[in-house]
Amino acid sequence: MSSLSRVSTDQKLIEMWLHGRPLSTQKEYRRDVQVFLGFVDKDLQECKLEDLQGYSSYLDEQGIKPTTKKRKLNSLKSLFTFATKLNYIRFNVAAALRMPKGDTSLAGRILKQSEVLRLISHPQLSVRDRSFLKLTYATGARVSEVCRLKWEDFQERDSGEVQVTLLGKGEKLRTVLVPVSVWIEMQQLRGSEYVFIGATKNPIDRVMAHHIIKNAAALSGITSKVSMHWLRHCNASHALARGASLALVRDSLGHSSVAISDPYLHANPSDSTSNYLGL
């Protein structure tokens, strides 16, 4: 097989493997695989366990964090498993690759509720930034889910409650409640299709979100290396501490798929983690 056709065949397999995944995941996984292939300078069918082990050692030499290294290696294990299922490769050489344990100190990424409230409510924050942080914490949504929200994603109920439909991983929809206090503050932002927009009138992205929470942390005197994802961790932890069930946290944060028999219940929830946060 020529080098050109070999590369072409590998790329076709990679695209088949990525098919149906969220675009952000596709981009991340594709980059992980291309870096690996550049390192070994082989096609997938020629790769051996020692190639993967050598790449793992290379990541250590580069000072890659254990959690990032684990994600990169998991991408490769998933690809090799897929290739084996299609009989593209004869043996899954990645199956024997030992994975790093990674950082499991979730507790270190959870702020006290008093700290979160100080962080998301600082008076020097703009209405947009304050609303963005409050909504992210209240719903436990992923930052990417909040960034692309449109006003049409929200619905006011006859009861006075407000709900928002979020598009999560795997293009799965889930609906959660929004505290009325947060919804009222958000009304000052109306004027565009998207709820949270930047100077260019486009929706804010992850980079802008990172700057927003870093600025909020600096203003509120929080020295931890806080990120937007911490607000998601805090939502779950604080809601559980106030009596929310594990099942409710699972459904509100989209940690698992909704059962086929439950779509009507989840499309119009009577409860949500936001009700346990005291906002």
Active-site residue list: 142, 169, 229, 232, 255, 264
Closest CA to 217 of 207, 203, 230: 230
246 Cβ contact partners less than 8 Å away, ≥ 6 residues apart: 240
First to last CA, the chain: 63
Q: d(Cα 279, Cα 266) in Å, to the nearest integer?
A: 22
The vertex-166 CA angle with 206 and 191, nearest 5°, equals 70
What's the Cα-to-Cα distance from 11 to each of 7, 15, 20, 152, 229, rounded to whole Å? 6, 6, 16, 38, 32
Burial class (CB in 10 A: 0-12, 13-18, 19+), 57: exposed
Q: d(Cα 151, Cα 28) in Å, to the nearest integer?
A: 29
Element (H, E) at 210: helix 206-220
